[in-house]
Amino acid sequence: MNQKEQDRLKSEIATKTGHIKALGRWLRNSVLVALISGTLGYWGLSGIQDRFLPNITGPGRTIVGWIGSVTGILALLFAILVYVAIHNGRKHVLELINALKGVKK
């Protein structure tokens, strides 16, 4: 492997590592959205009464519950997909590092 190929691999490793870090932020945010939406969905559909959340009754509360539940499920599915992308991206970066070092399987 010549110097030009090594430089290309090093820049590709750096770029992919940056993308994996960005995906980590997406994962954190999607899990946060899933938790908040799930909490709203539970509050809206369970009918619990508390002093901290507004006392919304009737169809408004049910609508908030369904929107929260659907949003929570979608955010959770997105988080799973992002986690798989991070996992596969790390494996690919490790393969690139091994190729750079000249290690064979």
pLDDT in tens, 14-68: 999 999 999 999 999 999 999 999 999 998 898 777 776 667 777 888 898 999 9
* Residue 72: burial class (beta carbons within 10 Å; 0-12, 13-18, 19+): buried
What pLDDT shows up at residue 46?
A: 87
Angle at 85 between CA 83 and CA 89, to 5 degrees: 120
Helices (H), 1-105: 3-46, 59-101
Rounded CA separation 72/49 (Å): 21
Check residue 95 and report its DSSP letter.
Answer: H
What residue spans define the domains of the chain? Answer: 7-101
pTM, two decimal places:
0.84
